[in-house]
Amino acid sequence: MAGQKVGAEIDKSSCVWRMNNAPTKGYEEDVGKRTTVRVVSHTSVPLLLKNPEYFFKETNNTVYVIWGPFRNMRKDGSGIVYNMLKKTVDS
pTM over 0.75: yes
Looking at the chain, the whole-number percentage of residues with pLDDT higher than 70 is: 97
For residue 3, is pLDDT > 90? no
* Residue-level pLDDT at 58: 66
Domain locations in the chain as residue ranges: 7-90
Angstrom distance (rounded) from CA 35 to CA 83: 24
Angstrom distance (rounded) from CA 21 to CA 40: 7
- Mean pLDDT (whole number) for 44-61: 82
Average pLDDT, the chain: 91
